[in-house]
């Protein structure tokens, strides 16, 4: 049974983020429809349900375990728990590659033989896959590539080969990149069988509601950002916050064999919306990739030589579309609270299963996931980077 380290910020009453963490739809992102990638895929409502299908297909269940990375969000483990499987967490290096020696030790301690290993390409940057794939082949374990943070089937051929081409199965989470309400893809490599079809659609009502929302978002156009990125204004707000103490939030450990509330079994057999697939096909891919890369570069510049923080991945390989900008924060609490109180969108994996991996323990609260998506405007970007700089210098 897994134990989880959890963090509940509800007592902190953080305000709503002033900038969206994922790209909202606006008409500037759309263009002529592209052809679908020439790879057979199955469509789910979210990546987690696509993962569930991959786990089932590879035999994960009561008698066969899943090897999952120690740095994770709960939705990566949930589908294996729903199948009644043991989940064993393998350690990672500080760059979030699989630690192969640690992996061998974890396998030796498994109660049930592993059926599959999940390898995640964190934040959209390819992680080392060749050695892990070779080890999996040797052991008769299915490799599943988690491309939920990546934009598969795009970019240079080297990028395409580096993510989603080596695993028996791969999954992705298109709504993290495209301005669409849902989606989860499953595909196979090397002729592995896919489920005969995608699950059934979500129904006419759901499609109509989603289509209406999309039409409204496109007719409205992008909302102008009213953020004041002047360093003096941000500094004054931080000073005002500093004199009003706020509760720290609740940190605790618990044991559970249940999946998290983020996994809804009633959604696992429902296909993603056709509206989402329409938005994906009409999204201007080249602009999306270029804008994300620019924003990532701006984050790199903004945090360069800033005290107490460092980019987790200081190099962005050519052609890669980053999902978010991961910022390593060495003493997280003094930075997390003022930034969240100011309305900075920060995601963290602070609800995580406990493992022996020191990297996962440090990154659980000490890596902030910051937006770098294509819909950010210059004012939002300037406000976020100036705020992080001001807060880091104070902390």
Ligand X SMILES: Cc1ncc(COP(=O)(O)O)c(C=O)c1O
The span from the CA of 13 to the CA of 30, in Å, is 36
> Element (H or E) spanning 120, and its range?
strand 114-120
The span from the CA of 181 to the CA of 279, in Å, is 9
Q: At closest approach, how far in Å is the CB of 66 from ligand X? A: 13
Q: Which two tokens stand for residue 277?
A: 């697939």
* First-last CA distance in the chain: 38
Q: Which two tokens stand for residue 352?
A: 């995580």
7 strand-pairing partners? 251
Report residue 345: phi and psi, to 5°: -75, 110
Beta carbon nearer to ligand X, 75 or 380:
75
Residue least distant from ligand X (Cβ):
47
Q: At closest approach, how far in Å is the CB of 311 from ligand X? A: 19
Beta carbon nearer to ligand X, 73 or 188:
73
Q: At closest approach, how far in Å is the CB of 16 from ligand X? A: 20
CB 169 within 8 A of CB 142: yes
Q: At closest approach, how far in Å is the CB of 231 from ligand X? A: 33
Q: At closest approach, how far in Å is the CB of 174 from ligand X? A: 8
Beta carbon nearer to ligand X, 73 or 327:
73
Beta carbon nearer to ligand X, 5 or 146:
146
Q: At closest approach, how far in Å is the CB of 99 from ligand X? A: 18
Beta carbon nearer to ligand X, 60 or 238:
60
- The binding site for ligand X (CB under 6 A) comprises 46-48, 73, 75-76, 120, 146, 148-149, 173, 184
- Non-local CB neighbours of 8 within 8 Å, separated by 6+ positions: 249, 250, 252
Q: At closest approach, how far in Å is the CB of 223 from ligand X? A: 25
Beta carbon nearer to ligand X, 48 or 271:
48
Q: What is the DSSP letter of 333?
A: H
20 strand-pairing partners? none
CB 144 within 8 A of CB 60: no
The span from the CA of 146 to the CA of 124, in Å, is 10
Beta carbon nearer to ligand X, 114 or 326:
326
């Amino acid at each position: 049974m897994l134990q989880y380290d959890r963090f509940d910020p509800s007592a902190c009453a953080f305000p709503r983020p002033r900038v969206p963490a994922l790209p909202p739809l606006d008409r500037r992102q759309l263009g002529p429809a592209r052809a679908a990638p020439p790879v057979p895929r199955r469509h789910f409502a979210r990546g987690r349900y696509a993962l569930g299908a991959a786990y089932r297909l590879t035999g994960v269940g009561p008698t066969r375990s899943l090897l999952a990375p120690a740095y994770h969000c709960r939705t990566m483990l949930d589908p294996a728990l729903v199948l009644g499987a043991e989940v064993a967490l393998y350690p990672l290096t500080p760059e979030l590659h699989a630690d192969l020696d640690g992996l061998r030790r974890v396998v030796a301690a498994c109660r049930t033989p592993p059926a599959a290993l999940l390898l995640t390409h964190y934040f959209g940057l390819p992680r080392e896959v060749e050695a892990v794939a070779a080890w999996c082949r040797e052991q008769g374990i299915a490799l599943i590539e988690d491309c939920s943070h990546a934009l598969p089937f795009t970019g240079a051929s080297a990028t395409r080969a580096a993510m989603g081409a080596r695993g028996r199965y791969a999954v992705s989470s298109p709504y993290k990149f495209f301005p669409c309400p849902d989606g989860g893809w499953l595909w196979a490599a090397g002729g592995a069988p896919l489920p005969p079809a995608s699950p059934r659609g979500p129904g006419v009502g759901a499609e109509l509601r989603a289509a209406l929302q999309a039409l409204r978002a496109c007719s409205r156009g992008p909302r102008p950002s009213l953020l004041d990125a002047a360093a003096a204004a941000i500094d004054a707000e931080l000073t005002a916050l500093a004199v009003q103490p706020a509760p720290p939030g609740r940190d605790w450990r618990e044991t559970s064999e249940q999946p998290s509330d983020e996994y809804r079994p009633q959604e696992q057999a429902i296909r993603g919306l056709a509206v989402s697939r329409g938005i994906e096909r009409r999204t201007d891919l080249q602009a999306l990739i270029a804008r994300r890369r620019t924003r990532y570069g701006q984050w790199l510049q903004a945090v360069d030589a800033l005290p107490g923080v460092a980019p987790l991945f200081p190099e962005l390989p050519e052609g890669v579309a980053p999902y978010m900008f991961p910022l390593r924060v060495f003493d997280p609490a003094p930075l997390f609270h003022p930034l969240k109180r100011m309305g900075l969108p920060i995601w963290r994996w602070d609800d995580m299963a406990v493992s022996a991996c020191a990297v996962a323990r440090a990154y659980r609260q000490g890596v902030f996931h910051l937006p770098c998506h294509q819909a950010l405007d210059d004012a939002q970007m300037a406000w976020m980077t100036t705020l992080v700089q001001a807060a880091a210098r104070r902390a």
